[in-house]
Structures are given as structure tokens and as C-alpha cells.
Structure 1
């Protein structure tokens, strides 16, 4: 088989699924598979369920997306009330996300913000199990207790470099050479930008942009329930 163009496939292309129903999958050759997951790891719902399809279509007919900082919607409010009721009001708030990695990242941030808001900023350490897996984003990998997953993606704080964003009124101070030297300890090759055209700006000019730091809002200290997240606590 030809190599797959999908980034996460290093070898030959995997079988291509043509359709699914219940706990079964069929590939494009007609071969049948029993799907032991029947959905995402955290959402084993089965395939081809008409009730889920109908609910999704009904919501799409009303509205597909709004930012949660601007609007609420009835299905989200109803589900949040059900989850709070499931905990017998021991947890009071629900924060919906799209994946387990996002949920763990959010739990880490909420735990940290909670103690900062309480006036205990020194509480910044997290406890997790070994072995364990908490997600594929950097924060979630940071609390994952399995080195083969962590090692290829670890980024130390000393590896971070921040640059002011360019604006139309910026005072030129940073050059391409400055940026090169921040990441590679060898001299930059001569920079020869392409000839400018009406659709492409020239990159030969240095740039800079002083950007004011955003104001931080006070963290909400209410107890919170993070969908899909394993519990996390700062200590």
C-alpha cells in the first residue's frame, strides 16, 4: 500500500472505513470488523445511532456554534444541570470541552487559579500516578507518568522564546538574523527575500511591536466539574 498522507501515520496506509453500524465497521473492500471501542475512548456510543444523528441535526438547524463567553444554549444548560444533579450538588459548575486532553489542561489551570485567588500562589505542584496517561497536550503530558510518551515532546521553560508581534506602526528593531540566532547556535545564511509583488509583502525589513500585557481576571473560586477530566489538585 502507498504511504498515507496523514501526518500521524509513519508506515503504510491503514484500512479505510467505508461505513459502520452498531459495534461493526466495514472497510472499502467489504471486510467486517468488530469495533471494541465503538467510538472515542471517552464516548463509547456505537455507530450509526439515529437518536444521536437526529439530536445533532436538530441542533445544527438551530445554531451550530457560539462562544461560551457570549451566549448560553439550552442543551448545554440542561446537560450541566443533569451533571450537577448527578453529584448531588457537591459540584456546582460544569465546563464543557471537546477532548480529554483539554479537560485535563482545564483542570490543571482551574486548580492553579483557585489557589492563586485564595492568596496561596505557592501551591503549584501536582500529584499524578505512575504509570498514567492524561492526554497529548503539553500540560497533560507534564502530569503523565510514562516516560516513553513524555520524552519526545518535553519542552523546558528555558526553551521558550517570546517575540513582540508585528503591527503596522511598529518601530523596527528585530531582524530575521535575530530570530535565527534565538533558535540555532550557528550563523544565519545570507537572507535573500523573494522579490515583492502586490500579493506578497517584502520580508527584508526588520520589525518589532510593543504589545501591552493583558490584564488577568480574578479566578472563580466555585467548585467546578470538568467534563471528561480526571481529578487534579494543586498541593
Structure 2
């Protein structure tokens, strides 16, 4: 069994006035107008207070610093550290996608992925390299099974968008095993066909020479 690795380098209510003599009505309406004026003044003052409070709150919120990446001690990262962190995040995504492609295409012939990590300026670990073990050896005594297996191995090695040199090496070796298995399978098939032809010819000769077994009467 050959084992190798494949790798890769987020309201106002309306008020109706009662029917009354004009003087009384005028007095009542005047008094009512005065009361309504006082109520309106209180409402206006209250709205002004609310508006002032909301404006103050908005100013306070806008003055709060925007949260960004920080070091383990909580201090903000420098611009160059932020750039380094973004690069590490991108590398981490690419490495994991690369190894996942190997595993998905390789099926039962691949194992679990392992990674190499680098600690970023934020104190977190990011994958910068990875590998997936793969069994790419031929199936002993069964060229047909070997052909099917090598086809899967080649697909697994070449599954990522950017195969690594090791991936290409595994694919090349699997193609060699695939060719050998096809030749072996063709040879086996030829030998089987030849044996069948010889058996058929032998049976024909026995019939022709009368050496065929006697047919018993019922």
C-alpha cells in the first residue's frame, strides 16, 4: 500500500364647544384656549427635551471608537499588522479549501487533514500549510479494481484549483499505475478469450471425430 500526502501550501383630540350665550361662550373659549395653550407649551417643551436627549445620545454613540482587530492585550493593531492579519485570513481560507477538495474527491482513499499554523498579530492561529494522506497504491491481483481506484486518486490529486507539486507527483504516479492496470486487465481478458476459444475448438474436434460422449436413450 502506497501512502502519500496531498498538500497546499466571516394627537390631538378635537373639543366641541357647548351652545351657550355669546359672552359665556367667549369666556369659556378664552379660558379653554388658555388651558390648551399651556398644554401645548408643555408638550413642546417635552418634545424639545426628548429631542435634545436623543441628539446627545447620537453624539455620544458617534463619538465611541469603532471596534477593530486588536492584539491579545486589547491594544489596536497598527495598519501593517492589520494588513498582515488579512493576508493570514486569506491564506487560511485557501489552505482549508484546498485540503477539503482533496478529501471530498478522494473518498475512502484519503485521511484527515493536518495543518501548520502561524500565530497572527491578534494572537489567533491561522493555517498556512496543510496536507491530506492518500492511499494511491494498486490493488494486488485485481487490475479492474486498480483502474477504478487510480481514477479516484487522480481526481483527488487534481481537485484543487491550484494543485501543488506534490499533488502533481501523486497524480503522475497514479496514472502510471492506471496504465499498468489497464494493460494487465487487457492481458487477462485476452488469456480468458484464448482459453475459451481453445475449449470450444476442442469440443468441436471431439464432435467431428466421434469422440463425443454417447447420448443415452430415454
TM-score category by the smaller chain?
Answer: under 0.3
Larger Rg: 2
Between the two structures, name the one with larger relative contact order (CA 8 Å, sep ≥ 6): 2
Provide the TM-score with structure 2 as the length reference. Answer: 0.16
More helix by share: 2
